[in-house]
Amino acid sequence: MKKRILIRFKKNTIDKPIVYRLSKDYDLVFNILRANVYPKAESIMVLEIEGDEENFEKGIQYLKSKNLQIESIEQDIIRDENKCVHCGICTSVCATEALSIDRKDKMRVVFNYEKCVACELCVKVCPVKAMSVYFD
Tens of pLDDT, residue by residue over 61-95, are 999 998 888 988 776 788 999 999 999 999 999 88
CATH number for 77-135: choose from 3.90.1150.10, 2.60.40.10, 3.50.30.10, 3.30.70.20: 3.30.70.20
Most confident of 18-22, 26-30, 71-75: 26-30
Predicted TM-score (pTM) of the model is 0.60
CATH number for 2-72: choose from 3.30.70.260, 3.90.1170.50, 3.40.50.720, 3.40.50.620: 3.30.70.260
Nearest Cα neighbor of 96 from 44, 43, 32 is 32
pLDDT the model gives residue 136: 55
pLDDT the model gives residue 41: 79
Per-residue pLDDT for 44 more than 80?
A: yes
Residue 113 and residue 105: Cα distance in Å, rounded? 19
pLDDT tens figures, 86-96: 999 999 998 88
Residue intervals of the chain classified under CATH 3.30.70.20 are 77-135
pLDDT the model gives residue 20: 87
Per-residue pLDDT for 100 more than 80?
A: yes
Beta strands 131-135 and 75-79: pairing type? antiparallel
Average pLDDT of the chain is 87
Residue intervals of the chain classified under CATH 3.30.70.260 are 2-72
